[in-house]
Amino acid sequence: MHPIETGNCKQIITECKPVLPLLLLRYESIATHYTEEPIFIYDNQDEPYEQIFRLREFIPNKKISSFMIYAKERKLSCQQDIFIRHAYWDKRYDQQYIKEKDPVRKQYLLTAMPSLYGRTIHINSENNHFTKAIHTLQEIQLHIKKNLVFHEAKQQQQQQQWNDIEIYVLFDWGKYCRIWDRSQENTHFQNRLDSLKYTIKQILKTTSDNHEPLEKITLDQSFPLSLFRDLICGIHKN
């Protein structure tokens, strides 16, 4: 069985068209998918940790960067352990890379993966920055619950590198997701986001990959990245 589509037209065709054969457009589509994944991480006991927070910045001519927090429960406490993840696309590198003149090389790049990177760290209350991260996220959740309002910026936020920013937060009652550009602002809320991003970066900077490593984790993608790439590039099999 397939979905039944109707409408005031004689024929309805359902297909998945590839993105235009412009490298950066294809890379950006793949990178956008990658930097919001995975939705779940499984530890070495096969226990699921859900993505409960994502802060994603779209920085022109440089990168798409996501900072994520995963937990077993949506209502955070300092008694939980969590996963911290940073995923990004190095757009600046790929912009230089695709200037390749060789036609054979260019053809290869049309279906290649962009320069994607991810780092995932498991931490608990023994980490020096753990409590700060939990408390700052709780403050962010509280701001959202109090009917968060944005205003038109009096002047463009030139100090911000990003053109657009996205926040995704899960609650027991649902989720909050918003994207805005530099023409909108809520200074206090933005300060909380900047504080949490700084704390996450400190955790990533000060935590060695060899510090109490887990035997295995599984990044549970909602859709395999390689297949997503094939769809974007139009090389999937019907």
Q: Using only C-alpha atoms, what is the Rg of the chain? A: 20
Mean pLDDT of all residues belonging to the chain:
90
Give 203-220 pLDDT, tens digit per residue.
999 998 887 888 999 999
The pLDDT of residue 30: 94
The pLDDT of residue 210: 85
> Other C-beta atoms within 10 Å of 145: how many?
11
Give 141-195 pLDDT, tens digit per residue.
999 998 888 888 876 555 678 889 999 999 999 999 999 998 898 989 999 999 9
Q: Find the distance separating the first CA and the last CA of the chain, reported in whole Å.
A: 16
The pLDDT of residue 33: 96
Distances (CA, A) of 218 to 10, 46, 99: 46, 8, 35
d(CA 48, CA 40): 6
The pLDDT of residue 223: 92
Judge contact between 207 and 127, C-beta under 8 A. yes
Dig out the tokens for 68 from the structure: 């994520």
d(CA 126, CA 51): 21
Cα-based angle 53, 47, 215 (whole degrees, multiple of 5): 100
The pLDDT of residue 198: 97
d(CA 127, CA 201): 13
Prior bond of 60 cis (ω within 30°): no
The pLDDT of residue 109: 80
Give 60-72 pLDDT, tens digit per residue.
999 999 999 999 9
The pLDDT of residue 22: 79
The pLDDT of residue 237: 58
Give 104-145 pLDDT, tens digit per residue.
777 778 788 999 999 999 999 899 999 999 999 999 999 999
The pLDDT of residue 143: 92
Band of residue 102 on the pLDDT scale cut at 50, 70, 90:
confident
58, β-bridge pairs = 64, 164
| Residue bearing tokens 């395999």 | 224
* pTM confidence score: 0.90
> According to the 3-state scheme, what is the secondary structure of the chain?
CCCCCCCCCCCCCCCCCCCCCCHHHHHHHHHHHHCCCCCEEECCCCCEEEEEEEEEEEECCCEEEEEEEEECCCCCCCCCCEEEEEEEEEHHHHHHHCCCCCHHHHHHHCCCCCCEEEEEEEECCCCCCHHHHHHHHHHHHHHHHCCCCCEECCCCCCCCCCCEEEEEEEECCEEEEEEEECCEECHHHHHHHHHHHHHHHHHHHHCCCCCCCCCCCEEECCCCHHHHHHHHHCCCCC
d(CA 15, CA 215): 41
The pLDDT of residue 96: 84
Give 74-85 pLDDT, tens digit per residue.
988 888 899 999
